[in-house]
Structure 1
Amino acid sequence: MFFYLAFIASGAIGGLTSITQLFTSLANRSGAPVLPEIVKSLGIDLSAILVFTLLYTRENKAKNAQLAKLSREESLSKLKLRVDQNKIISVSDLRGISRLVILAGPAAYINESYKRSEYVTEGLLERGVLVIPFATDGNYFEFASEDSKVDLSIDEKKKRLWQLRPIYIEDWSNWIAEQKKLANVSLESPVYLSLRLDGRVRGSGTGYPPWNAFVAQLPPVKGLWSGILDGMDGRVL
């Protein structure tokens, strides 16, 4: 961007010089450069100013968009979560540990998302996925096993996957509303956002999260590739 400004300044100086020469040539003063050459030089200078101004504007917009995105992600990192009755953490405390999936919608949407995740619970946990259910209608999602004969070990894994609870609801509501506004999504639409291990937004969408796609796309957090691929879960939004 510095060089773009330098080229714009250079073109402006060259353009002023060409304009001065143009007036001199039109006045038919002795020693004035040939008129076609002056016009050609002026055209080059003006073209350079236009091109580099457009490039600078594009880069400046991209920079501002990046800064705004980083600001939103920083705001997200400060939001609070309850792990259990005795422990409250920030979203940032889970960076490098878990891939968070934020669900925002009415309780019915949260409950259906939970049911759709049951068959891939182990796969999600192996990839460090933890769910943050945010019920926008004021109802709270509570884990409950519908089958009394369910394997207790599987039951505990489901609880672990869905154990996080957002607190300071107004802060969460404001952050999610801002994301919907920026994405031109209706405030009433249920949405999900998936985060990378580094805490940046990896994907988002309306409707139910693609649990099976998460299992297929994300590498396990333990094993041969643990550490090497930390945070490298695809491009960020």
Structure 2
Amino acid sequence: MFFYVAFIASGSLGGFIAATQLIGALANPSRASQVADIVKGLGIDIGAVSIFAFLYFRENKAKNAQEARLSREESLSNLRLRVDEKKIIPVSSLRGIARLVICAGPASFVTESFKRSLPFTEGLIDRGVLVVPFVTDGNSASFEFEESNEELDKRRKRLWQLAPVYITEWSEWLTEQKKLAGVSSESPVYLSLRLDGRVRGSGVGYPPWNALVAQLPPVKGIWTGLLDGMDGRVL
């Protein structure tokens, strides 16, 4: 960006000098033969300034977007979650441990999201997924377990065991995300995080449980190592 500014300044200076020369040539008939070359040089200067100005503003826009994203992710990392009756942790504590999927909407939406996740429970758990059900309408979501398979029900409860704490802070964060994404404040949404805590996917509607199972690598075995957490590009 420093070089872009330098090139813009250089091109602007060259354009100013060329414009001055053009005015002088137009005012002096004896220099009429120089007009074409001066105009050509002026055009090159204007073109260079335009290109580098475009590159500068594009780079600046990307920098601002990155800073905003990092700020949002930092705010998210400081939000609190209840693990059980005695334990409350910040989201950042789960970096490198779990891939969070935040499911935010009215109680009916969260309940339906829970039902849709049931066929994919084992695959989601194997990939380190934990769900944060954030009910936004003040009602209670219904999580009903069949109790027919004790081990499977235990895994389902583990998948949905987290709960947001300090709802006002969560609401403010979610409102800001929707505003920046141009999403209606009433729309139910989901956000999925990578193992490193950065947002890898989001959308309006139900989380794509089948896609998460298909795309995410297991958290054990040959996938454990240097590139842990680098599962998908950052939004």
Is TM-score (shorter-chain normalized) higher than 0.5?
Answer: yes
User: Which residue of the partner structure matches residue 162 of structure 2?
Assistant: 164
User: Which residue of the partner structure matches residue 196 of structure 2?
Assistant: 198
The answer as to 2:126 corresponding to 1:119 is no
| Matched position secondary structure for 1:10 | helix
User: Which residue of the partner structure matches residue 139 of structure 1?
Assistant: 139
Alignment of 1:59-70 (within 5 A): 59-70=59-70
| Matched position secondary structure for 1:60 | helix
Does the aligned pair in 2 maintain the 1:21–1:33 contact within 8 Å? no
User: Which residue of the partner structure matches residue 175 of structure 2?
Assistant: 177
| Matched position secondary structure for 2:221 | coil
User: Which residue of the partner structure matches residue 231 of structure 1?
Assistant: 229
Q: Which runs of 4+ in 1 moved over 6 A?
A: 29-33
Letter in 1 for 2:47: S
- When normalised by structure 1's length, the TM-score is 0.93
Letter in 2 for 1:104: A
| Matched position secondary structure for 1:204 | strand
Letter in 1 for 2:35: L
The answer as to 2:80 corresponding to 1:80 is yes
Does the aligned pair in 2 maintain the 1:24–1:32 contact within 8 Å? no
Please give the per-residue CA displacement for 1:197-223, whole angstroms capped at 9, x wherever unaligned.
111111111221111111111000010
CA RMSD of the aligned region, Å? 1.8
- When normalised by structure 2's length, the TM-score is 0.94
User: Which residue of the partner structure matches residue 215 of structure 1?
Assistant: 213
Unaligned runs of 5+ in 1: none
Deviation, 1:232, is: 1.6
- Whole-angstrom CA distance in 2 between matches of 1:143 and 1:121: 14
- Whole-angstrom CA distance in 2 between matches of 1:110 and 1:188: 14
Deviation, 1:143, is: 4.1
Please give the per-residue CA displacement for 1:94-124, whole angstroms capped at 9, x wherever unaligned.
1111000000011111111111111211110
Unaligned runs of 5+ in 2: none
| Matched position secondary structure for 2:223 | coil
User: Which residue of the partner structure matches residue 3 of structure 1?
Assistant: 3
Where is the helix percentage greater, Structure 1 or Structure 2? Answer: 2
Does the aligned pair in 1 maintain the 2:104–2:134 contact within 8 Å? yes
Letter in 2 for 1:229: L
Deviation, 1:235, is: 1.2
Identity of aligned residues (%): 67
